[in-house]
């Protein structure tokens, strides 16, 4: 019998790719999402059960959660600029809705709850490798609420209710629900279409993960026989590169005619995230690189997959959030 997975935010950049991937691997998938960016984001559109709804609606959650084995919680107002656009809205979705969600999940038969936190919970670190046992020093409300939700989730761990916390790096690569407001995707979009990339700062290290490895990671967490206790917190990321080096990779993969311009940045966030714990625990090997993501994007651009990718609000969370009146 197929295991049943409910994904909050299943129509998002990562969620849509993950939903298709889990269908390919024999899972029964239900997605709850507001589908602000449209519903045509799945290859397996007919097989995926789509619930149009808000995770703040507790009555809806009580209706749809029973009968599922696992819940992967991706839904949030993602990234700092979108969050800061309406901090009250951000708090209501990213923090206030979390405890009711995990409580309803536990009360209604979910066996394993997987929470997508963020590597940004670490803040600025000087250590050579940032590991899961280091103190969290989040710099923004977005990151602070991610850290708070981690603490809340661990209170619910029991023999019958497993919790895994994933701290993803910045994701890159192609999705049917595409985003061009993430560092590798931004630089590739600019390089391909403008043949000019402006890099602000450039020396800051940024941890990245290819979207294909990201969804593979979630599958590994689902497949694990047992995740007992409260120590199931994992960084997921692979290449920690300076922004300048990412820009150089774009130039190498797209053409030497691309002009690179460097200017000053006040954003000094820089950290090198280690995913050794995840790799060891799940016997997992990251298979895809930043160059793979750049080349995947190049193929998509060559095939005209994304119309007006420099300006279309559907590809930029903050532009889309600005254009709607979500409360």
How does pLDDT run across 193-239, given as a tens digit for each residue? 999 999 887 677 889 999 999 999 999 999 999 998 888 999 999 88
| Cβ-contact 74, 12 below 8 angstroms | yes
**pLDDT for the residue 267:** 67
Report angle CA 214, 215, 216 to the nearest 5 degrees: 90
Q: List CB contacts of 96: < 8 A, sequence separation 6 or more.
A: 56
Q: Choose the weakest-confidence range: 38-52, 102-116, 118-132.
A: 118-132
How many angstroms separate the CA atoms of 41 and 306, rounded? 13
CA distances from 99 to 90, 221, 311 (A): 15, 21, 37
- Residue owning tokens 């969600």: 101
| Cβ-contact 306, 315 below 8 angstroms | yes
Structure confidence by residue, pLDDT tens digits, 1-52: 899 999 999 999 999 999 999 999 999 999 999 999 999 999 999 999 999 9
**pLDDT for the residue 84:** 84
Angle between helices 243-254 and 183-194 (to 10 degrees): 40
Structure confidence by residue, pLDDT tens digits, 168-188: 999 999 999 999 999 999 999
Specify the CATH number for 4-323; select among 2.40.128.260, 3.40.50.720, 2.60.40.1180, 3.90.400.10. Answer: 3.40.50.720
- 98 or 321, which is more confident: 98
**pLDDT for the residue 306:** 97
Nearest to 7 by CA among 62, 58, 77, 55: 55
| Residue 288 DSSP SS3 | coil
pLDDT category, 255, cuts 50, 70, 90?
Answer: very high
């Amino acid at each position: 019998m197929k295991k049943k997975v409910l994904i909050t935010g299943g129509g998002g950049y990562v969620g849509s790719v993950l939903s298709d991937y889990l269908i390919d691997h024999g899972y029964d998938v239900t997605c709850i999402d507001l589908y602000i960016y449209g519903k045509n984001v799945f290859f397996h559109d007919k097989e995926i059960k789509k619930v149009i709804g808000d995770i703040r609606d507790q009555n809806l959650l009580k209706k749809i959660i029973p009968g599922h084995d696992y819940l992967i919680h991706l839904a949030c107002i993602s990234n700092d600029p979108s969050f800061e656009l309406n901090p009250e809205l951000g708090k209501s979705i990213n923090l206030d809705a979390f405890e009711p969600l995990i409580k309803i999940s536990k009360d209604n038969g979910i066996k394993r709850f997987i929470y997508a936190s963020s590597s940004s919970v670490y803040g600025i670190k000087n250590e050579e490798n940032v590991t899961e046992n280091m103190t969290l020093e989040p710099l923004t409300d977005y990151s602070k609420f991610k850290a708070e939700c981690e603490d809340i989730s661990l209170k619910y761990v029991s023999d019958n209710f497993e919790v895994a916390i994933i701290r993803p790096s910045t994701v890159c690569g192609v999705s049917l629900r595409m985003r061009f407001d993430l560092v590798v995707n931004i630089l590739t979009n600019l390089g391909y279409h403008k043949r000019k990339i402006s890099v602000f700062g450039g020396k800051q290290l940024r941890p990245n993960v290819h979207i294909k490895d990201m969804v593979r990671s979630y599958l590994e967490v689902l497949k694990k026989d047992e995740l007992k206790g409260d120590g199931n917190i994992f960084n997921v990321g692979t290449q920690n590169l300076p922004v300048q080096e990412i820009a150089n990779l774009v130039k190498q993969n797209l053409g030497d005619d691309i002009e690179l311009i460097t200017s000053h940045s006040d954003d000094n966030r820089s950290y090198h995230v280690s995913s050794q714990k995840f790799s060891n625990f799940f016997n997992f090997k990251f298979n895809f690189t930043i160059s793979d993501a750049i080349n995947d994007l190049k193929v998509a651009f060559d095939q005209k997959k994304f119309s007006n990718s420099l300006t279309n609000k559907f590809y930029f969370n903050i532009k889309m959030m600005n254009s709607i009146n979500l409360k």
